[in-house]
Amino acid sequence: MSNAGEEKKELLAAFAENPERADQEVFGRVTHPDRRGFLKGAGLATMTAMLGVTGIPFSRNMPSGFVPVAMAEEAMAVADKDGLVGLGDKPLNAETPAHLLDDEVTPTARHFIRNHGTVPDKVNVDTWTLTIDGEVEVPQTLTIQDLRKNFEVVTQQLIIECGGNGRALFNPPVSGNQWTVGAVGCARWTGVRLKDVLEAAKVKKSAIYTAHFGADRELADPEKMPISRGIPIEKAMNPSTLIAFEMNGAAMHPMNGHPLRLVVPGWVGSTSHKWLTRIQLRDVVHDGKGMKGQSYRMPKRPLEPGEKAEDPLFTQIITAMPVKSLITRPASGIKLEQGKRTLEVRGHAWAGENVVEAVEVSIDFGAKWIPAKVADPANPYAWQRWQVEVAFPGEGYYEVWARATDDKGEVQPYAVAWNPKGYMNNAMHRIAVRVS
């Protein structure tokens, strides 16, 4: 990595530790009582030089302790920007750069990978079975062919998002896979409704929760499962919750759950168990791995950033994901050609159990907002396409920010409350634009 790249990483570390102090030391920025940071003289010149532009037209609107997104991206850049960006290989996890998520239906080759343990290496589609047992009157053991033959096969475009998507953006930093914005995808899944399969097993009135089990195993101990989560029976009976055996009209990629997986759309991705072998119905909330302690849970009260908190505080099991939007065109860092002042911006928005009603963008660090056109979802739980054309008043460095609002009035924030596991980050997405 170049010296410039190292310098930017050191700069980001300084801002992560104490953003306002770094503001003063690096840029000489004076913090106003309303938490804007006024860049003047040498400080403004320093920032524009680091960004490679002649000016920042809306610098007066920058929040205190603010790092331009272009500087952060350059510091974290990797050599291969054409495909998924690996976050670790034990287990393998990889995210998709935002500009590669522009398709309305996420291609299999661009769908993110989230593993907790080993990937099954011996898969026989003909002999693979799924067991339905527990609080049911008629336990079932079904092959994939049984599923195809005995139940209606449906295809739906459904979004899956990792609960830690956006973890890398928390300050102070938290442990875990450092997802930025690319742990999300909206593929076309083919399978059968979980509801239909459970009804065939005749669910007892005592059943309140599912428990999911798969063929993946812990890296350190092949006798143990790396994760086993579940969902309330009401979500299991939602007609969009699927037992899937195809992805985008073909067999699933091995890293996306081939040959059988759950798709629990709109909810935290860990509930959509891959390499599915068993669904147990339980008369209590499931207590498998990933259901206890702080795992996939939120605290019952706001925490001070960096605060140490004990497990009993984490009472809220993560279910539906929050309202969110993503800019997929153009890629961040675009430089407009000489004389060009307008730019088409587009992307996707989604909202867990809700529907997106509006998407807005800002080019002046949130001082004013421009409404975008938002399309209806292809079906429930699909993301929604949005598009807008923006005009820049002059040359310099700009950021395009996007925020979505759902039909319940929930709005994407500029920043979210800190939590020690880095979950549920739906802060506005930002891209850098340089105007010649």
Q: Are residues 193 and 97 located together in one domain of the fold? A: yes
**Predicted local distance difference test score (pLDDT) of residue 75:** 44
Domain span including residue 9: 3-76
pTM of the entire predicted model: 0.84
Tell whether 143 and 275 lie within a shared domain.
yes
Q: Model confidence over 180-221: pLDDT tens digits?
A: 999 999 999 999 999 999 999 999 999 999 999 999 999 989
pLDDT value at residue 34: 56
pLDDT of residue 388 exceeding 60:
yes
Domain-embedded: residue 81: no
- 282 shares its domain with 308: yes
Same domain, 391 and 301: no
Check whether residue 272 and residue 300 sit in a common domain: yes
Check whether residue 68 and residue 196 sit in a common domain. Answer: no
Among 294, 317, 340, residue at a domain's last position = 317
Residue 179 maps to which CATH number?
3.90.420.10
Q: Where are the strands (E) in 222-355, listed by range? A: 242-247, 261-263, 276-282, 297-298, 316-317, 324-329, 334-336, 342-350
At which of 21, 53, 76 does a domain end?
76
Verify that 389 and 349 share a domain, yes or no.
yes
- Taking a C-beta distance cutoff of 8 angstroms, is the pair 212, 194 a contact? no
**111 and 69 share a domain?**
no
In a domain, 82, yes or no: no
The per-residue pLDDT for 145 is 98
Does 83 map to a domain?
no
Q: Strand runs (DSSP E) across 299-383, as ranges?
A: 316-317, 324-329, 334-336, 342-350, 356-362, 370-371, 373-374
Instruction: With a cut of 70, say whether residue 4 has pLDDT above it.
Output: no
User: Region 384-405: what's the mean pLDDT?
Assistant: 97
Residue 6: helix, strand or coil by DSSP? Answer: helix
Could you tell me if 295 and 379 lie in one domain? Answer: no
**Domain for residue 349, yes or no?**
yes
Closest CA to 342 of 388, 399, 396, 390: 390
3-state secondary structure of 4: helix
Among 91-95, 254-258, 327-331, 398-402, name the one with the lowest average pLDDT. Answer: 91-95
pLDDT tier, 54 (very low <50, low <70, confident <90, very high otherwise): confident
- Same domain for 356 and 402, yes or no, is yes
339: alpha, beta or left, given left = phi > 0 and alpha = psi -120 to 50?
Answer: left
Q: How many distinct structural domains can be found in the chain? A: 3
Whether residues 72 and 18 fall in one domain: yes
Instruction: Tell me the sheet residues that pair with 92.
Output: 89
Q: Coil, strand or helix: which one is 99? A: helix
Q: Which two tokens stand for residue 139?
A: 């336990």
Verify that 196 and 54 share a domain, yes or no. no
Instruction: Single out the residue of 279, 117, 113, 90 nearest to residue 192, CA to CA.
Output: 279
Q: Which residues contact 220 (CB under 8 A, 6 or more apart)?
A: none
Query: Which of 76-90, 140-154, 255-269, 410-424 is least confident?
Result: 76-90
At 20-41, the pLDDT tens digits run 666 676 677 666 555 556 666 6
Boundary-marking domain end, from 47, 76, 105: 76
Whether 368 is covered by a domain: the verdict is: yes
In 10 A of CB 340, how many CB atoms? 11
For residue 332, give the CATH number of its domain: 2.60.40.650
Burial 35-71 (b: 16+ CB within 10 A, else e): ebbebeeebbeebbebbebeebbbbebbbbbbbbbbb
